[in-house]
Structure formats: structure tokens, C-alpha cells
Amino acid sequence: MSYLDKNSNVIKWSSEELIIPYRSKIDGRIHRYFPDFWVKKLNKEGKQDVVVIEIKPYAQTLPPKKQDRVTKKYLYEVKTYGVNKSKWEAAEEYCKDRGWDFAIVTEKELKLKF
């Protein structure tokens, strides 16, 4: 957040204020998704762009590997990935309709080491 505050190309930003409705692949119901950040910024041409950003651990951005034994942990991973995938598909569509970008950022992009 400090980066957004100090970056001269960032015009305006908010955290978890945007609401995107989505239908969960897990229960088929409509839910509300609050992406981590909404950022209005100047691009290289000096025009304003908007990007919606979700920050997730890299492991949660990949589908779980098929297991021979179905454990509680595996079921949790399948559910988490299914919910995330539903949110991200809805966010992609929501942003596309508005001419915005959607980005999923992990520790790899942030160059963090855990």
C-alpha cells in the first residue's frame, strides 16, 4: 500500500471496496467478491488505466494435483481453487466490460521469499 501511495503514476486506489458478483462453481449460488485493490493509474502514454488486483499465494493459483486418497486437505484445496476460479472469471468479465485490466499477483511477482 505504501507503494501505491508513493507512486506518482497512481491517481487513486482503494482496497477491498469494489464488489463483483459471481456465481460459485462449488454451490451454484451468487456471492460477492471483494478484490484486494482497485487502482487508477497513468500509463506510459499518459492516459488513465484502471487495474483490479488480487493478491494470492502462488500455490492457490494452480489447480490441486489429483490425489489417490481423498483427504480433508485435498477437498479444501479443491474447494478453494473452485471458488477462486469462479471469482477470477467474474472479475475478468467485469473488468473487460469496463475496459479495465485484472491481475492476479503472487509472491513471485512481488519477489518475496517465504
Sketch the domain layout of the chain as residue ranges.
2-110
Single-letter amino acid code for the residue at 112 = L
> pLDDT at position 111, please?
79
Q: Which helix (H) or strand (E) holds 39?
A: strand 37-42
For residue range 52-109, what is the model confidence (pLDDT) as tens digits? 999 999 989 999 998 888 999 999 999 999 999 999 999 999 999 999 999 999 998 8
Whether the per-residue pLDDT at 40 is higher than 80: the answer is yes
How many other CB atoms sit within 10 Å of the CB of residue 106?
A: 15
| 14-43 mean pLDDT | 96
Distance of alpha carbon 41 from the chain centroid: 18
- Of 98, 99, 77, 94, whose CA–CA distance to 32 is shortest? 94
